[in-house]
Structure 1
Amino acid sequence: MEEDFTIQPYGPHPHHTGIAVPIFALRSKNSSGIGQFSDLKLLADFAHKSDMDVLQLLPINDTITFMDWRDSYPYRAISVFALHPIYLDIHAFLDDYTKLQQTALLEEEEQLNALQQIDYERVLAFKWKYAKLIYDKQATKLKATADYQNFYNKRKDWLLPYACFSYLRDKNKSAEFSSWGTYANYTEDIFEKLSQDKKVADILDLHIFVQYLLHTQLKEAVDYCHSLGVAIKGDIAIGIAHDSVDAWVNPDLFNLDMQAGAPPDVFAVNGQNWGFPTYNWEEMAKDDYAWWKHRMTAMSEYFDAYRLDHILGFFRIWEMPAGSVRGLLGQFSPAIAMSAEEIENNYGIPFRQWSPERFTKPFIKDWVIDEVLGRDNRDYIIQRFLDYVGGGNYQFKPDFDTQRKVEAAGLEDWMRDGLYTLHENVIFVKDRKNEYLYHPRITLMTNTSFREFGNEYKERIERLYNDYFYGRNYDFWKERAYEKLPAIKHATNMLACGEDLGMVPNNVPDVMYRLEILRLIIERMPSDDSFVNGLQYAPYLSVVTTSSHDTSNIRAWWQEDRAVTQRYYNEIMGWYGEAPWEATPEIVQEIIKRHLNSDAMIVALPIQDWLGMSPDLRFADPHQEQINIPAEAFHYWRYRLHLNLEDLNNNTGFTNFLSQFVQDSKRSV
């Protein structure tokens, strides 16, 4: 990376414009059914012609865990250092293949590129097939170069464990390293032991070699972007895969018996369970967060800026026990839990008098079963899943006493989800470190256990709930953030941006401002009770966007709620009369124009929304352009741009339109 290429606040060009698009979504004539690192050069050409100077990506690390389409999820990395092999440009080595291999490659590429969406499993198998051919042809020559040796020596602290992990995962057909017998626990001599077998040594060498190819292709693309004055903004995921190289090598840095996620929000009413282990911050602090610093330094080779995914996790993380499937039984960690004495003395709730079990065990009675699962199903539910414990109360049988056990039973969706709801029918969850301390269950006022209390006690519980979630921990969390974020931010010169959506404590914006970490502002997702985020109030230290990979694009959002659309059309856009049923190109242009004229340092819009301004280039069905659906635990991330980048670059009418559109705003570069 060019040492003098930076993107910083209050620089020579204070306002920047960008395109947000995952690499996997890119489409070019020489791609192999998925976007690849080399496609960034074509995207940079398009951005440059359109007077834009930032390309915003999703995570690019290796995610191969399940060895199927579920690995399309880019936020579950098996290594925070290794790049994903699926982004390798195998077409670039066309001359190295035999005529027969060339013909087969071109035929397969033609079929894969004709698909509207990504066939993840087929593409990955195809890439590996040709990666092995490249290795056979090129490895001996390239490994002798100084460039390869520098790459290897500088990174072997993670390359060797990564190669071992990848080999053992494939050999055992599982990334669950606890099941690997002799190799369940990582030791520094594992690479040497495995390498004693020549065939295994070659496989290990292949994984390292592919990482070198990925590095060189990405570095070449980044350097090309810089030559055009285009910056790369990466994405640093909050979590890692439970079964990952990092957890295998450094288990003490993670709480492997816990799961990270998010409390309920507009994306997921039952909360989100990402399945990641949570960080053992106390252990990480002992060496001043060396693992994080190493991670950031590695990514700074490619990125000029980064989006710190779920920055709230550096204040506190939503943490669930291993037995949870959904997010409602979580608790913030760290957090100041409540004692029985505090619950009783400060809020007048007879916690011990009525027994802690009344508040912490699932509240299950006949009428609750009827309401959740249906009266006609009550007898069957009791017989199969519950034991009677007296007083009209039931508890789960041992075989079903966690949500994970229910999940494993292979039940119909309605029954499984109903049993999950019964598990969640509690008022408090026990603190994970001290079973005699308690946290109110998130959104507890919506469950049937809460409804059983009289109005007086409902008011007391609700007061406790509001005190706990809206103020009690704010200063405590602020202190925790100031312990971690400065060390991580100052590890590199990259511009730091944070994804601060969700249940945001009111002091988070202040911390981010003081540390010069840019906030994320999506107009339709206000941070308070306002109808929308007022773009005219967007602070300079922010990234403003119309949509994200977790939301619908402008055109699909326009059709989601007619009342919201009408109000937005009249009040926010200031246009009169009845709102059209479709977001016409003129409407999309007006919305984007208002974003570009905000004072935010960066406006980075999804490529779907940029194309939505054109009547000729927009995709026919905007609802098919959403990249992720957060409420789905296993969503297939397979969105792909419907246009080739070469065709976009050659469409001078559109690039000229975009260039003029940007120049007419305060963002002209």
Structure 2
Amino acid sequence: MDNNFVLRPHGDKPYHTGVAVPIFSLRTETDFGIGQFSDLKILAKFANQSGMDIIQLLPVNDTTIFLNWKDSSPYRAVSVFALHPIYLDLSPFIGKLTGAEQKSFAAEKESLNALSQIDYEKTLALKWNYAAAIYKKIGKTTLDTADFKTFFEKNQGWLKAYAAFCVLRDKFVSADSSLWGKNFAQYSEKVWSVLTKDDKTAEKLNLQIFVQYLLHLQLKDAVEYCHSLGVAVKGDISVGVDRKSSDAWANPDIFNMDMQAGAPPDSFSVVGQNWEFPTYNWDKMAETGYEWWTHRMTSMAEYFDAYRLDHILGFFRIWEIPSTAVRGLLGHFSPALAMPDWEIENYGIPFRWWGIDRFVEPFIKDWVIDEIFGRDNRDYIITTFLDYTGNGNYRLKEFINTQRKVENLATQNVPDWQIDGLYRLHENVLFVRDHQNQYMYHPRIKMTETSSFRELGDEFKHHLERLYNDYFYGRNYGFWEEQAYKKLPAIKKATTMLACGEDLGMVPENVPNVMWNLQILRLIIERMPADGDFVSDLVYTPYLSVVTTSSHDTTPLRMWWEEDRAFTQRYYNHVMHWIGDAPQFAEPEIVQEIVRRNLNTKAMLAIIPIQDWLDMTREMRIENPADERINNPEHTYHYWRYRLPHHLEDLSANEGLTNFYRDFIMNTRRSSLTEE
């Protein structure tokens, strides 16, 4: 940033309060069916009037890969540098259009703005139509300005590859560069030269660059307005990029394209998460001092005062899944200290004596088939999908011997319960082979829940449980810490932005110490404890942390309150210390109390989702709390289309509401002028 606006731990103002909301969820009177960068100005005004001083966003990068609603997820970047064209505010340029075009724009804007949820596909298509029309009017003069030339010179390292990618993606109606022919299989300056020789193609490239320039100007302008009100803006850095992205197309050597990143089973998904992103080739990145990452950070610093490093655990180790798998259970941590056969046997496990296949291949017997598919379906399942190998054992037929092959059965009208059962058969293993060395092994996550494990006698179960606990809870901790100290310092030192990490999930015990040493704020969500307790004890929240009541991946407070009656009752009596039966619904006083408890922590930042702020009052909440949810991580492809139920102009003009928030915050630790 070119100004003096800073956000620092232990600063003149030790505690900060904010609101979390995706750009796409914002709603103003001038929108075009979706939130826009310019809306940040009205949001900042509302935040300032309400006694808040920080806005937290989700990633704002372009995600146009599938060319449909699946691109609505902000975490599947087509470029970690390019801003998403859907956030462009067209209204400042509408006067350049013809009268008929202006009339059409106004009608379509009114129709889209009336929707309660985002129509992603229609909104993006219409925005591109009008952006192209505006480019015809002012594109050439804009690209001739000195300011634009400075922007292009500074960003051409990624901008040219991105623009070329977009043009080729649209030409072939696919983001899969392997379908573009050998001349375009990977980006190079030669590709740029070839594309720019054709005048029509050159104009398409210029349109992409023109839109990126306008987006840059609008986001910079909005953030500068936020700063004028004393409001900081916190961005979000996605853990990965899509394998069909301009970044992977231009820099394939820094990615492991044959692997997929994800997460092991957690409260979000019992079968783990498969994000389908290629994993990073950290050794290759290290050769340039993590240049791609440092460039990414300096690009973020153009707009943001702080950032949330998505899945910071990935900088210690990532959950790596083979490209043949669909779900997350067949992955293993990478890098990780895998186990040779002799070490497994040192635990009293007859690894080679019984045959390694008993441990690494799907364990399938009649009773396993009955348990998964039902006894009445056994014969059909065996005949259709399995081969008998003797001694009561079966193996999967070749046409479904990977989960990806099973996934393809959906196009053949195979019912979901059969596909899910076949996935479970694939996952019925005790060990998975290391992805780099097939003679090294990792215990399969949650192996004790498999029927393969249950088949064993008590003695061998005990041996496997001891191995499992040693492997997952201690063996790799020191090794992973070394990995983090190689990467995170270079990334953090690249800018002066306040660093925050999302450290939820299966957290090694030394992660908090590493984050504290590097002055990276932790993320604390009370209902998602890292230590296995009932909830996180907010009394012991460290100063270098961000507390929040919910996230984009969780249910909002009102919805969470209704999920588990026994949990809610215990929370009501033993955490809130309120007496009697817990109300069935989270009334405003319930939400207020939970928010108040978060604001009274010692955390430097308390950033509450806008849904939970609105649900503190009866007049602002909507009827169905399920309509407030942004994402469901159990689904690889979720339609991210939540919109605020109120215009930001109305929220800002509601003095009763903003005064309520200001008074509420002032009566918590957030108002303290000294760090306690």
TM-score, normalised to structure 2, is: 0.98
Q: How many residues end up aligned between the 2 structures?
A: 668
Partner in structure 1 of residue 79 of structure 2: 79
- Per-residue CA distance 1:390-421 (angstroms, 9 max, x = gap): 22111111111100000011121101000000
How far has the Cα of 1:240 moved from its partner?
Answer: 0.3
Partner in structure 1 of residue 278 of structure 2: 277
- Mapped contact 1:85–1:211 kept (Cα < 8 A): yes
Show the 5 A alignment for 1:221-620. Answer: 221-345=222-346, 347-410=347-410, 411-620=414-623
- Mapped contact 1:544–1:600 kept (Cα < 8 A): yes
State the distance in 1 between where 2:444 and 2:344 align: 14
Whichever residue aligns with residue 498 of structure 1, its letter is: G
State the distance in 2 between where 1:387 and 1:574 align: 59
State the distance in 1 between where 2:166 and 2:532 align: 48
- Mapped contact 1:18–1:55 kept (Cα < 8 A): yes
State the distance in 2 between where 1:215 and 1:89 align: 11
CA-atom RMSD, angstroms?
Answer: 0.9
- Per-residue CA distance 1:80-124 (angstroms, 9 max, x = gap): 100000000112222112211111111111111111110100010
SS at match of 2:420: helix
State the distance in 1 between where 2:255 and 2:385 align: 34
SS at match of 1:189: helix
How far has the Cα of 1:566 moved from its partner?
Answer: 1.3
TM-score, normalised to structure 1, is: 0.99
- Per-residue CA distance 1:425-458 (angstroms, 9 max, x = gap): 0000000111110000000111111111001101
How far has the Cα of 1:530 moved from its partner?
Answer: 1.9
Whichever residue aligns with residue 223 of structure 2, its letter is: V
How far has the Cα of 1:372 moved from its partner?
Answer: 0.7
Q: 1:98 aligned to 2:98?
A: yes
Greater Cα offset, 573-582 or 335-344: 573-582
- Mapped contact 1:27–1:640 kept (Cα < 8 A): yes
Partner in structure 1 of residue 217 of structure 2: 216
SS at match of 1:209: helix
- Per-residue CA distance 1:258-293 (angstroms, 9 max, x = gap): 000000001100000000000000000011100000
State the distance in 2 between where 1:523 and 1:265 align: 16
Long gaps (5+) in structure 2: none
State the distance in 2 between where 1:281 and 1:375 align: 48
Whichever residue aligns with residue 86 of structure 2, its letter is: I
Whichever residue aligns with residue 350 of structure 2, its letter is: P
Partner in structure 2 of residue 5 of structure 1: 5
Partner in structure 2 of residue 200 of structure 1: 201
- Mapped contact 1:426–1:444 kept (Cα < 8 A): yes
State the distance in 1 between where 2:396 and 2:562 align: 43
How far has the Cα of 1:185 moved from its partner?
Answer: 2.1
- Mapped contact 1:310–1:498 kept (Cα < 8 A): yes
State the distance in 2 between where 1:187 and 1:554 align: 49
State the distance in 2 between where 1:275 and 1:430 align: 19
- Mapped contact 1:2–1:223 kept (Cα < 8 A): no
State the distance in 2 between where 1:29 and 1:133 align: 23
- Per-residue CA distance 1:459-511 (angstroms, 9 max, x = gap): 10111111100100000000000000000000000000000000000000000
Show the 5 A alignment for 1:159-198. Answer: 159-181=159-181, 182-198=183-199
State the distance in 2 between where 1:105 and 1:337 align: 59
How far has the Cα of 1:3 moved from its partner?
Answer: 2.9
SS at match of 1:362: coil
How far has the Cα of 1:639 moved from its partner?
Answer: 0.7
- Identify the match of residue 646 of structure 2 among 643, 646, 660: 643
How far has the Cα of 1:666 moved from its partner?
Answer: 2.0
Whichever residue aligns with residue 263 of structure 1, its letter is: P
Whichever residue aligns with residue 53 of structure 2, its letter is: D
Whichever residue aligns with residue 444 of structure 2, its letter is: R
- Mapped contact 1:17–1:53 kept (Cα < 8 A): yes
How far has the Cα of 1:318 moved from its partner?
Answer: 0.2
How far has the Cα of 1:554 moved from its partner?
Answer: 1.1
- Per-residue CA distance 1:140-163 (angstroms, 9 max, x = gap): 221121111111111011111001
Greater Cα offset, 183-192 or 396-405: 183-192
Whichever residue aligns with residue 582 of structure 2, its letter is: A
State the distance in 1 between where 2:13 and 2:647 align: 30
How far has the Cα of 1:306 moved from its partner?
Answer: 0.2
Whichever residue aligns with residue 530 of structure 2, its letter is: S
State the distance in 2 between where 1:529 and 1:242 align: 34
- Per-residue CA distance 1:489-536 (angstroms, 9 max, x = gap): 000000000000000000000000000000000011111132211111
SS at match of 2:5: coil
Long gaps (5+) in structure 1: none
State the distance in 2 between where 1:36 and 1:82 align: 15
SS at match of 1:195: helix
- Mapped contact 1:2–1:226 kept (Cα < 8 A): no
State the distance in 2 between where 1:373 and 1:587 align: 43
Whichever residue aligns with residue 426 of structure 2, its letter is: H
How far has the Cα of 1:187 moved from its partner?
Answer: 1.8
How far has the Cα of 1:171 moved from its partner?
Answer: 0.7
